[in-house]
Amino acid sequence: MKKLIVFILALISLLTLAGRGGRGENHTLEFTIPADFTDAFTFSDKALDYDAFIYSAEEISPTRKTLTLKAGAGYSSVPVILKVVECREENAYEPILLAHDKPVTINVEKGAWFQIGIALDNSAEVPIAASVIVEDVEVRIANSNSWAMAAHFYLNGKGYFHNGELTYELPAGYEYVGEVINVGNTFSGGDFEGNVDGKVYMDESIVDTAYFSWAEWDEEIDGPAPFLKLEFEENQQ
């Protein structure tokens, strides 16, 4: 009888996991609208100009055949566009209107990569922030930006490499420990040698993870500055 109960519980667990298959994470995309940006797309425009949108610094990949967007902060409604980055099927996506309390679901190619852009005017003399919430997606840094390279550095003979994860708030316990010395993809054994210029943050109680921030970052152009999560990997020298 006990074996039967164990078998039933195991079967229920497997079915539960199977039901969750294909689910990614919900993620809030952050946007910085530059000061005096007054050429944003409107639905009365005769032609679609992708430069009339401000794009997030991240790319998303839907884990399902639909993508659900929800309005975030900074507006009551806003035109939104999906810009294809990588795909197997040729699809063009028209701008849609995203408003609060009115989530939008779009048919998309599962596993393709997109950037999301919003068309929001800003006549102020300072940048403003906005956000869009996306459901069931994987996230990576946008390859179209020069800062999206696979950042890495070495410390105490160990290599720390970026695999796509980032955050906009440094986790508790992490403190500045040094500057990366950009030596390209060579390595002579020196601490903090790497392929980028920036700062390293570590938690002395977590030896296999570090965070990295870029030495130069223009939030008006590139959006909020991220902290890249770098993890220790063996045999990467």
Q: Could you tell me if residue 22 is left (phi over 0), alpha (psi between -120 and 50 degrees) or otherwise beta?
A: left
Query: Are residues 160 and 78 part of one domain?
Result: no
Domain identity same for 177 and 88: no
Domain boundary among 78, 111, 141: 141
Measured distance CA(27)–CA(61) in Å, rounded: 11
**Domain end point (choices 124, 141, 158):** 141
Say yes or no: 173 and 70 in one domain.
no
**For position 11, what pLDDT does the model report?**
43
Query: If residue 103 lies in a helix (H) or strand (E), which one and from where to where?
Result: none
How high is the pLDDT of residue 195? Answer: 82
Share of the chain above pLDDT 90, in %: 42
pLDDT of residue 125: 83
Residues 237, 228: Cα–Cα separation, whole Å = 20
Largest CA distance in the chain: 73
Q: Do residue 59 and residue 112 come from a single domain?
A: yes
Q: Structural domain of residue 120, as residue ranges?
A: 23-141
Which among 40, 77, 70 is positioned nearest to 55, based on CA atoms? 40
123 inside domain? yes
- Digits of tens for pLDDT over the chain (237 positions)? 434 443 443 444 334 433 333 456 789 998 888 888 898 999 998 888 888 999 888 889 999 999 999 999 999 999 999 998 888 877 789 999 999 989 999 999 988 899 999 999 999 888 888 999 999 999 887 644 444 456 788 998 888 988 777 888 999 999 999 999 888 656 777 899 988 889 999 999 999 999 999 888 877 766 778 899 999 876 555
Number of structural domains the chain divides into: 2
Q: Are 73 and 176 contained in the same domain?
A: no
Last residue of a domain, one of 123, 141, 159: 141
pLDDT value at residue 161: 87
Helix (H, G, I), strand (E, B) or coil at 152: strand
Say yes or no: 41 and 104 in one domain.
yes
* pTM exceeds 0.85, yes or no: no
